[in-house]
């Protein structure tokens, strides 16, 4: 394995430890602190709003300044966010910590994707992107084990202790990345003319697909655990059990699926992933059985993995080394816009129409994104660049 890619994945493993636990814990903790559906949506929106504003600027910086400094900055922001989460016992405290979390996330994935694109060839880029997702998922599973073990042992202070552990992991990731992550931006001769950034017009629809995919996920994400807790009457540990197979799938499948699909038509793989996700969310309100629910969400993980790793690889295929950061930045802007609007739309649907309607709304948006991707399957130009 490329040594840079190996170091990158080790850093991603450490920094991603809160990933699963916060997905469960944040909306439930916010509700316990008295947050309404709109306030929970705003808690997610403040995170994604920072992505919307900062990521395109990071994309420019990646091309003009370099990759390494932004990756290290991401580690530092995650360290601050985890420390703030550990001390947050009010809604304003959660909002403050969430803003730092958004800052770190704005730097992290776009930089990791750009570094990966720098050190891989097109034919193995999907596999490499999948390996990154797997490293994050493994870190998230370890973090979930720590967090939910503390929930079972000391529920009153589990949140604080969990994020103290995550802050320590982020500190280790910061030190490791300073020592081991090199600069991967190709050196440019002073006399060489800088390549003009011009995102190909035939991919504008792809940006809209990325917007819709993020919008659909964000409509559902803040509310589905609250929905499941209310419908099935499950405690937090039981809810976690629903997603243990999902976490295992995310930890194992990305590298395998990336290797299998790396040479396939990228639009076809994305179409399949979006369709699987849409079908799952349409089915959720009709599922009453605990084990059927586990099977459904595990199957959905396949769709999410296919979509995520292939989307990132496809963006990495577009343009040259001098514009890859801005390409990822533009895609991140589209995703950030969808992720910012989604929780607010979901909160309105959740409060105004009924909890199950967030799943119908999200599924509909996924299906629209899938339909917009279909023409790319037959467009041979989508394989250019």
Residue 274 has pLDDT above 90, yes or no: yes
**Alpha carbon distance, N-terminus to C-terminus of the chain:** 25
- The backbone torsions φ and ψ at residue 158, rounded to the nearest 5 degrees and listed phi first, read -60, -40
Convert the pLDDT of each residue in 332-384 to its tens digit. Answer: 888 878 887 888 898 889 888 888 899 999 999 999 999 999 988 876 444 54
Q: How confident is the model at residue 310 (pLDDT cuts 50, 70, 90)?
A: confident
Q: How confident is the model at residue 193 (pLDDT cuts 50, 70, 90)?
A: low
Average pLDDT over residues 113-127: 84
- Lowest mean pLDDT, pick from 28-37, 113-122, 282-291: 28-37
Q: Is the pTM of this model over 0.85?
A: no
Q: What is the pLDDT of residue 261?
A: 66
Q: How confident is the model at residue 80 (pLDDT cuts 50, 70, 90)?
A: very high
Answer yes or no: CATH 3.10.300.10 is held by domain 3-182+201-380. no
Q: What is the pLDDT of residue 190?
A: 52
Which tokens in the block code for residue 62? 């990646």
DSSP class of residue 309?
H
Q: Where are the domains of the chain?
A: 3-182+201-380
| Cβ–Cβ under 8 Å, residues 252 and 337 | no
CA distances, 90 to each of 32, 34, 101, 155, 343 (Å): 10, 9, 16, 17, 20
Q: What is the pLDDT of residue 84?
A: 93
DSSP class of residue 90?
S
């Amino acid at each position: 394995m490329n040594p840079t890619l190996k170091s990158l994945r080790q850093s991603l493993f450490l920094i991603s430890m809160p990933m699963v636990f916060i997905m469960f814990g944040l909306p439930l903790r916010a509700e316990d602190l008295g947050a309404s559906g709109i306030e929970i949506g705003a808690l997610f929106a403040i995170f994604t709003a920072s992505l919307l504003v900062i990521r395109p600027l990071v994309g420019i910086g990646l091309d003009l300044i370099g990759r390494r400094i932004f990756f290290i900055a991401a580690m530092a922001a995650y360290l601050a966010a985890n420390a703030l989460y550990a001390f947050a016992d009010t809604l304003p405290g959660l909002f403050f910590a969430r803003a730092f979390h958004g800052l770190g996330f704005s730097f992290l994935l776009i930089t990791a994707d750009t570094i990966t694109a720098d050190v891989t060839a097109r034919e193995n880029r999907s596999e490499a992107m999948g390996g990154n997702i797997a490293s994050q998922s493994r870190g998230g599973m370890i973090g979930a084990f720590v967090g939910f073990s503390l929930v079972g042992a000391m529920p009153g202070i589990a949140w604080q202790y969990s994020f103290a552990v995550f802050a320590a992991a982020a500190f280790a990731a910061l030190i490791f990345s300073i020592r081991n992550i090199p600069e991967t931006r190709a050196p440019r001769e002073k006399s060489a003319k800088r390549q003009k950034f011009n995102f190909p017009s035939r991919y504008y629809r792809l940006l809209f697909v990325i917007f819709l995919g993020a919008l659909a996920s964000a409509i559902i994400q803040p509310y589905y655990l609250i929905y499941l807790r209310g419908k099935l009457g499950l405690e937090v540990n039981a809810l976690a059990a629903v997603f243990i197979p999902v976490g295992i799938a995310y930890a194992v499948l990305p590298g395998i699926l990336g290797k299998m699909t790396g040479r396939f038509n990228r639009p076809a793989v994305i179409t399949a992933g979006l369709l699987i996700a849409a079908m799952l969310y349409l089915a959720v309100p009709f599922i009453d059985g605990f084990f059927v629910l586990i099977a459904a969400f595990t199957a959905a993980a396949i769709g999410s993995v296919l979509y995520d790793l292939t989307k990132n690889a496809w963006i990495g295929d577009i343009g040259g080394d001098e514009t890859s950061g801005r390409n990822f930045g533009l895609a991140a802007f589209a995703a950030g816009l969808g992720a910012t609007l989604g929780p607010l739309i979901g909160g309105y649907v959740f409060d105004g129409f009924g909890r199950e309607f967030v799943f119908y709304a999200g599924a509909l948006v996924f299906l629209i994104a899938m339909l917009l991707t279909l023409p790319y399957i037959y467009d041979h130009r989508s394989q250019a660049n």
